[in-house]
Amino acid sequence: MPKKFSYQQLFSFSKNIFLKIGCSNRDAETAATSLLMADLRGVDSHGVARLSGYVRLWEVKRINAKPVIKIIHETPSTATIDGDAGLGLVVAPHAMKVAIKKAKQVGTGWVSVKNSNHFGIAGSHAMMALQDDMIGIAMTNASALVAPTFSVERMLGTNPIAVAIPAGNEPPFVADFATTTAANGKLEILQRKNAAMPVGWAQTKDGEPSTDPHALKDGGALLPLGGDREHGSHKGYALGAIVDIFSAVLSGANYGPWVPPFPAYVAIPENMPGEGIGHFFGAMSIDAFRPATEFKTHMDKWIERFRSAKTIKGEKRVYIPGDMEREWEEERMKEGIPLLQPVIDDLNSLALKFEVKPLYPM
Amino acid sequence: MPKKFSYQQLFSFSKNIFLKIGCSNRDAETAATSLLMADLRGVDSHGVARLSGYVRLWEVKRINAKPVIKIIHETPSTATIDGDAGLGLVVAPHAMKVAIKKAKQVGTGWVSVKNSNHFGIAGSHAMMALQDDMIGIAMTNASALVAPTFSVERMLGTNPIAVAIPAGNEPPFVADFATTTAANGKLEILQRKNAAMPVGWAQTKDGEPSTDPHALKDGGALLPLGGDREHGSHKGYALGAIVDIFSAVLSGANYGPWVPPFPAYVAIPENMPGEGIGHFFGAMSIDAFRPATEFKTHMDKWIERFRSAKTIKGEKRVYIPGDMEREWEEERMKEGIPLLQPVIDDLNSLALKFEVKPLYPM
């Protein structure tokens, strides 16, 4: 059984580390909030397990703990933001707030961001729009691990898209997914189990289909949603490409194979065409299309109808996007967040290094 | 060898039919332009092969040939449009023009449409934004043929998404894809060949995986992009759901299993919660984010880099979304549009009925 830690403890721990690297109190809280959303919602690969990774990027001066985040271009419904190499965990909520503010003024707001870093889970930022009765959209590019259809080369990141849509009595619809068939985290689970990988998740370094979960580590590539041409991988490739272009070509960030990698020990690509990594955010006020109360009544009906669809044999439920993550969040907020021992050890090394209180299980 | 017909002939033929059912000259030209884009770009299922289907919907009074298309709600960056049961082929370009106009004024424009009908190919409308140096987005819902992950019931249409992005010296990036693994047209090709269908395209009426291309006809369902849970079908389901909600819950059209079917002989669902089918359009001015010339230089670089990616064995090219369709368009504009004999016969029955000049091959 993995040990469990309270949300509040992990929040304070992360906040303290962000303070130690020089973040302002407000930024440290924003960053810890964004980071912990991943742990709460069951995306263990994107939460506190990455905290030491962010610190290492700060150590090699690829993350600026005191960024001056600036709007460098804007219109009534758009903005382009320079993240000043800040934590994506801070830059993204800042940009999302700009999108929401514009949506309040002219119906929708759209923000493209350059010169940023990894922003945690996309869903966390998209959900910020919900409290204002808005649809929230968040996406980001990432370093290249994915081969487009027919390509041997890695050209795109896992480039996730999140869309959060408010409802009335029902909880909101929250889709948040990588534009690949499977995330790298799923390959790692199979590696630990020494189990075969389904075809369609990754290819070898020569571009052959593979069932070896080490395929990616061995120089292969993840595959776009769809897996192969016959199963629509050109659609997953197009989606990942759209995320890359909206996030980076529109803002002036790096794109395609030039996106800088998350691990600080991996060299950054040569001749980079932009600055940092890129994100894209949107906020659409429901009232800009129809009265929010009317929309919510229909959204409830939509959700109820889909949730009550007849299931295939052996399955109990048809899920609404966001159902599983919300259930994780409720459970983990109450019963604590489980961490694997290597993650606990890693965090306690940080505690020692930065002289903050180490973790103790619940 | 199928017989070929010139673009000009099929355009005039379609325009004449639209005039005969009562469209204005302008609407008939708009509709014929939208319709023929499908034939030109190789999406044979959505072009003139559907002309008699539109006529039958007009005959049963589900299509209004003289719609008064109205903005029923708007903000500086948004509009909601009532299509007055017009041809989607006419309503969609109208709505896209509203989106483009708003983007000229405040940077972006977003339009949700209710009370419309089938609008041809999504890419045709998205591409309208290109000439103004804008990114164009188009999507539509459609009658339910697709089972969400773990569902036996058909709940969503093939709900396509199109995104058109301008470039400089390179041709534009144009993605246009259904949010399913495969379109119904692909099943029909396998039916004619009496060939097996790949797993992941469709399931039986009991929700079992199937390799029978008749599975859909026999009461089964198409599957969301991804195919099954293990291959990410929950992502394709989420995408189809987002299209449905943006197109219909936002506008007041029918959604989910209540979307009216295209074939006029299929009864419309009971207790429909909205009006007609729904679309969603967006236009984003490049200049609202960064100077268009700068963007285009980087977009060219993006395209060149992806196009020159090393290919897997047996493949000659990594395609940029839109490459194949553009090559079809160039070829068919020059050498004519091939039509299958049943389509020619169907069109010539229309010619007889409406007393317009019948088709003659090139």
Residue range A54-94, pLDDT digits in tens: 999 999 999 999 999 999 999 999 999 999 999 999 999 99
Residues of A in contact with B257 (CB under 8 A): 305
Residue A306 CA to residue B148 CA, distance in Å, equals 8
Beta strands in chain A (DSSP E): 3-5, 70-75, 78-82, 108-116, 134-140, 161-165, 173-177, 202-203, 221-222, 277-285, 337-339
Residue B57 CA to residue A18 CA, distance in Å, equals 62
A9 contact partners, CB below 8 Å, separation of at least 6: A359, A360
Residue A203 CA to residue A225 CA, distance in Å, equals 13
Average pLDDT, integer, range A268-294: 98
- Interchain CB distance below 8 Å, B155 and A309: yes
Average pLDDT, integer, range B29-48: 96
- Interchain CB distance below 8 Å, A73 and B150: no
Q: In percent, how much of chain A has pLDDT > 70?
A: 100
Nearest-by-CA chain B residue for A298: B249
Tokens, residue A203: 């290819």
Residue in B108, B203, B238 nearest the CB of A175: B238
- Interchain CB distance below 8 Å, A75 and B285: yes
Average pLDDT, integer, range A243-266: 97
Average pLDDT, integer, range B78-97: 98
pLDDT tens column, A203-238: 999 999 999 999 999 999 999 999 999 999 999 999
Nearest-by-CA chain B residue for A110: B108
pTM of the shown model: 0.98
Residue A286 CA to residue A300 CA, distance in Å, equals 14
Tokens, residue B119: 């609008």
- In chain A, count of helices (H) and strands (E)? 10, 11
Residues of B in contact with A288 (CB under 8 A): 73-75, 77-78, 110
Residue A129 CA to residue B354 CA, distance in Å, equals 53
pLDDT at B78: 98
Mean pLDDT taken over chain A:
97
Nearest-by-CA chain B residue for A103: B77
Place of tokens 């269908």: B197
- Interchain CB distance below 8 Å, A148 and B312: no
Among A142, B81, A15, which Cα is nearest to A7's?
A: A15
Q: Among the residues of A248-317, which ranges form H helices?
A: 292-307
- Domain ranges in chain A with CATH number 3.30.1370.60: 65-180+229-291+327-337
Q: Among the residues of A245-315, which ranges form H helices?
A: 292-307
User: Domain A65-180+229-291+327-337, what fold?
Assistant: Ribosomal Protein S8; Chain: A, domain 1 (3.30.1370)
Interface-testing mutation among A72, A105, A150, with chain B (most B C-beta atoms within 10 A): A150
B18 contact partners, CB below 8 Å, separation of at least 6: B27, B28, B31, B32, B65, B87
Residue in A112, A201, A237 nearest the CB of B289: A112
- Interchain CB distance below 8 Å, A231 and B198: yes
Greater model confidence, B72 or A192: B72
pLDDT at B48: 97
- Interchain CB distance below 8 Å, B249 and A207: no
pLDDT above 90 for B186: no
At B291, the pLDDT band (50, 70, 90 cuts) reads very high
User: Mapping DSSP to helix (H, G, I), strand (E, B) and coil, where does residue B166 land?
Assistant: coil
Mean pLDDT taken over chain B:
97
- Antiparallel, parallel or unpaired: β A3-5 and A337-339: antiparallel
- Interchain CB distance below 8 Å, A312 and B112: no
Residue in B78, B288, B302 nearest the CB of A245: B302
- Interchain CB distance below 8 Å, B152 and A249: no
CB atoms within 10 A of CB B115: 25
C-alpha distance from B17 to closest chain A C-alpha (Å): 35
Average pLDDT, integer, range B53-60: 97
pLDDT tens column, A10-63: 999 999 999 999 999 999 999 999 999 999 999 998 999 999 999 999 999 999
Residue in B226, B249, B288 nearest the CB of A75: B288
pLDDT above 90 for B68: yes
Q: Which helix (H) or strand (E) holds B122?
A: helix B122-126
Among A249, A258, A253, A244, which Cα is nearest to A277's?
A: A253
- Domain ranges in chain B with CATH number 3.30.60.50: 182-222
pLDDT at B362: 86
- Interchain CB distance below 8 Å, B231 and A200: yes
Average pLDDT, integer, range B258-277: 95
Tokens, residue B245: 């909600």
CA distances from B223 to A229, B111, B148 (A): 16, 28, 7
Tokens, residue B310: 């090393």
For the domain bounded by B3-181+223-291+327-354, which CATH number is listed? 3.30.1370.60
Average pLDDT, integer, range A160-170: 98
What's the CA angle centered on B257, arms B252 and B259, to 5 degrees?
Answer: 50
pLDDT at A49: 95
pLDDT at A309: 98
- In chain B, count of helices (H) and strands (E)? 10, 11
- Interchain CB distance below 8 Å, A290 and B165: no
Q: Which DSSP symbol is given to A204? A: -
Kindly tell me the sign of the dihedral angle through the C-alpha atoms of A131, A132, A137, A139. Answer: negative
User: Domain B182-222, what fold?
Assistant: Wheat Germ Agglutinin (Isolectin 2); domain 1 (3.30.60)
- Interchain CB distance below 8 Å, B241 and A107: no
Q: What is the DSSP string of B61-107?
A: TSS-SS---EEEEEETTEEEEE-TT--HHHHHHHHHHHHHHHHHHHS
A vs B, Cβ pairs < 8 A, gives 264
Residue A259 CA to residue A241 CA, distance in Å, equals 13
